[in-house]
Amino acid sequence: METDTITAISTPIGEGAIAIVRLSGPEAIPVAASVFEGKNLLEAVSHTMHYGKIIDPETNEIAEEVMVSVMRAPKTFTREDIVEINCHGGMVSVNRVLEIMLSKGVRIAEPGEFTKRAFLHGRIDLSQAEAVMDLIRAKTDKAMSVALKQMDGRLSSMIQRYRQDLLETVAHVEVNIDYPEYDDVEEMSNEMMQQKTKEVHDEIEELLQVAKQGKILREGLATAIIGRPNVGKSSLMNSLVQENKAIVTEVPGTTRDVIEEYVNVRGVPLRLVDTAGIRETEDIVEKIGVERSRQVLKESDLILFVLNNNEELSDEDEKLFEAVEGLDFIVIMNKMDLEPKLDLKKVEQLAEGNPVISTSLIKEEGIDELESAIAQTFFAGEIDTGDLTYVSNIRHIQLLKQAKQSLEDAMASLEMNMPLDIVQIDVTRTWEFLGEIIGDTASDSLIDQLFSQFCLGK
């Protein structure tokens, strides 16, 4: 059986406050110990966590401040020795830690390889392993087709088209200003400019929307289950996991027991996340207050907010409603088998248009409705995945957001009737942001292209 040691970043890249580099295999602990400044990890008790620094062996510099968990075989997910290095996150530092591990002769894990080892070592059974592999494959297939589309040049041809539209607009204004005597060139009006900027703006917005769905397909929908104690959060988690093929990535131990669980609800991969250590949130609002809870909950793509139908709405429930206001949430009125004491009208009013679903988790009722609501929340209007160009690159998404913002600035100026040569500054900036996506940033090419648009002087 496998005897080498593997490593991978086991949290989604670029997301969240911490990122984890995981190692599994006979060399996991010695390799980590050899670059760790702090407690001697070789002597660390199993299932303990240690603060320290990762030292780059080449430069002897501190690469990252970390918390390291040491878990010794066989009571681990893979039944091999496991080390998890919690980094502060940020691509740079986590990649650096990964590179240091690789420089120590540890091999990068293939997709699903930790799970495969768990199966080979009898830690999970075949159906569990298959479920994991299915999901990984499904996720990879979709991600693959996204990547293929991008290579196909679909994104860049769309970007080029937007840029062309913007360029024509800018050129038009420029000509009006510089060559007022060319009266065969129609005067660009505020309305024409408004229409052009709105067209491109809406297309970028759509691309960003699709990017969000693409991200969900790749990474799963970060989902938090919240509610007061005893309302049925664990029951909900269990029923979602039982009804659907689930991946439970489990690291048994004293420090932490579950990292992430995936369930596939009607094609929507849910990642039941441990949001800042509060996956199943009982007293989050009590503990850290409404404002900070909001900050934590904002990191989720979806919040499942459970209420007890057998009890009247409490202050705590109302505080939770405050904490989720404006976020994507579904209210679950659980324990419908018991005497109803919740005021449905009031709950619907607090839900502000978000779905309100009744369930009896103990009788397995209402789960279908809940699953439909989950699917609808994110696939509203049904997306045909085959037809869309996904934008999956974080840099591209960032630039698209900036492009959209500067178009919004232009639109606001137009709204206020600012002169077009002022508005055009924002339009030009949009053109530049879009140019960065396709690697065309030379700003003097704007001038060249401006003149090639209108063959002036000929």
Task: Report the residue number whose CB is nearest to Zn ion.
Answer: 234
Q: Is 347 annotated as a binding residue?
A: no
In whole angstroms, the minimum distance from the beta carbon of 323 to Zn ion comes to 19
Q: Which of 92, 338, 344, 442 binds ligand GDP (CB under 6 A)?
A: 338
Q: CB within 8 A of 7, min separation 6: which ones? A: 21, 22, 23, 24, 98, 101, 102, 106, 107, 108, 109
How far is residue 427's CA from residue 374's CA, in Å, rounded to a whole number?
Answer: 38
The HSE-up count of residue 219 (CA atoms within 13 Å, CB side) is 20
26 prior amide bond cis, ω within 30: no
3-state secondary structure of 231: coil
Residues 207-266 that bind Zn ion (CB under 5 A): 233-234
Return the number of the residue (360 or 413) whose C-beta is nearest ligand GDP: 360
Residues 296-335 that bind ligand GDP (CB under 6 A): 334-335
The interaxial angle of helices 154-178 and 126-151, nearest 10 deg, is 30
| Segment lying near ligand GDP (by CB under 6 A), choices 27-35, 175-183, 189-197, 226-234 | 226-234
How far is residue 134's CA from residue 245's CA, in Å, rounded to a whole number?
Answer: 9
Binding-site partner at residue 360 among ligand GDP, Zn ion, none, CB < 5 to 8 Å by type? ligand GDP
Return the number of the residue (11 or 235) whose C-beta is nearest ligand GDP: 235
Q: Which residues share a beta bridge with 270?
A: 221, 263
Joined tokens for residue 188: 């660009």
Q: Is 235 annotated as a binding residue?
A: yes
In whole angstroms, the minimum distance from the beta carbon of 258 to ligand GDP comes to 14
Return the number of the residue (22 or 233) whose C-beta is nearest Zn ion: 233
Q: Which helix (H) or strand (E) holds 315?
A: helix 315-324
**Pattern 358-387, binding to ligand GDP, x per CB under 6 A?**
--xxx-------------------------
In whole angstroms, the minimum distance from the beta carbon of 422 to ligand GDP comes to 56
Q: Is 252 annotated as a binding residue?
A: yes
Buried b (16+ CB within 10 A) or exposed e, 325-356: eebebbbbbbbbeeeeebeeeebeebbeebbb
First to last CA, the chain: 76
Spell out the alpha helix ranges (H) of 124-189.
126-151, 154-178
Q: What DSSP assignment string belongs to 60-122?
A: --EEEEEEEEEE-TTSSSSSS-EEEEEE---HHHHHHHHHHHHHTTPEEPPTTHHHHHHHHTT
Return the number of the residue (97 or 226) whose C-beta is nearest Zn ion: 226
Binding-site partner at residue 334 among Zn ion, ligand GDP, none, CB < 5 to 8 Å by type? ligand GDP
Q: Are 216 and 378 in contact (CB under 8 A)?
A: yes
Establish if 239 lies at the interface with ligand GDP (CB under 6 A). no
**How much is the CA Rg of the chain, to the nearest whole Å?**
27
Residues 132-191 that bind ligand GDP (CB under 6 A): none
Buried b (16+ CB within 10 A) or exposed e, 11-35: bbeeebebbbbbbbbebbbebbbeb
Binding-site partner at residue 338 among Zn ion, ligand GDP, none, CB < 5 to 8 Å by type? ligand GDP
Q: Is 389 annotated as a binding residue?
A: no
Return the number of the residue (339 or 387) whose C-beta is nearest ligand GDP: 339
Q: Is 429 annotated as a binding residue?
A: no
Q: Are 373 and 354 in contact (CB under 8 A)?
A: no
Q: Which residues share a beta bridge with 7?
A: 23, 108
Return the number of the residue (234 or 255) whose C-beta is nearest Zn ion: 234
Establish if 242 lies at the interface with ligand GDP (CB under 6 A). no
Establish if 232 lies at the interface with ligand GDP (CB under 6 A). yes
In whole angstroms, the minimum distance from the beta carbon of 280 to Zn ion comes to 5
Q: Is 274 annotated as a binding residue?
A: yes
In whole angstroms, the minimum distance from the beta carbon of 232 to Zn ion comes to 8
Which residues make up each annotated binding site? 22, 84, 123, 230-235, 249-255, 274-277, 458
Binding site for ligand GDP (CB under 6 A): 227, 229-235, 334-335, 337-338, 360-362
Q: Output the known binding site for GTP.
A: 230-235, 249-255, 274-277
Annotated binding site for (6S)-5-formyl-5,6,7,8-tetrahydrofolate: 22, 84, 123, 458
Q: Summarize the annotated binding site for K(+) as residue ranges.
A: 230, 249, 251, 254
Residues near Zn ion (CB under 5 A) are 233-234
